[in-house]
Copies of this chain bind each other. A is one copy, B any other.
Amino acid sequence: MTSNRPYLLRALYDWILANNMTPYLLVDATVKGVNVPTRYVKGGKIVLNVVPSAAHNLELGNEKVSFNARFNGKQYQIIFPVKAVTAIYARENGKGLIFPDDDHDSESHQKTEPNPKQHLKVIK
């Protein structure tokens, strides 16, 4: 079965916008294929504002997320795999979803026993 992460990502994005709030993505910049301005990466992660007025030509695809944005006045083309998205939440109140690490890329990870504690977490 394919990953449900892109479906959940689009759902939460729509939900946050429908509530007139600002969707932020927390992205793991250490994942292969992440193309973001490295000077804004902190501790291996980058926070990206994906509100339509800031993220132009946003595409939340099944495999990749891409958009154009300005950082400190400079234009960047941002692209990263959906599996690098660690969380999506509203800037205003922090509500959203944290995605479990275990579904990153099962083929590149050692097989482990299923952990019942690994789950989606609603940020309240």
Per-residue 0/1 for A9-23: is the Cβ within 8 Å of any B Cβ (1 yes, 0 no)?
A: 011101100110100
A side interface size, CB within 8 A:
25
> Once the chains bind, are B19 and A2 in contact (CB under 8 Å)?
yes
Partner of A95, one of B1, B97, B122: B1
> Please, which residue of chain B has its CB at the minimum distance from the CB of A124?
B114
Q: How far is the CA of A19 from the CA of B19 in the complex (A)?
A: 30
Interface residues of A in 1-46 (CB under 8 A from B): 1-2, 4, 7-8, 10-12, 14-15, 18-19, 21
> Once the chains bind, are B122 and A100 in contact (CB under 8 Å)?
yes
> Once the chains bind, are B124 and A122 in contact (CB under 8 Å)?
no
Residues of B with C-beta under 8 A to A19: 1-2
> Once the chains bind, are B21 and A14 in contact (CB under 8 Å)?
no
Residues of B with C-beta under 8 A to A1: 19, 21, 90, 93, 95
In the complex, A56 has a CB within 8 A of chain B: no
A interface residue numbers (CB < 8 A to B):
1-2, 4, 7-8, 10-12, 14-15, 18-19, 21, 90, 93, 95, 97, 100, 114, 118-122, 124
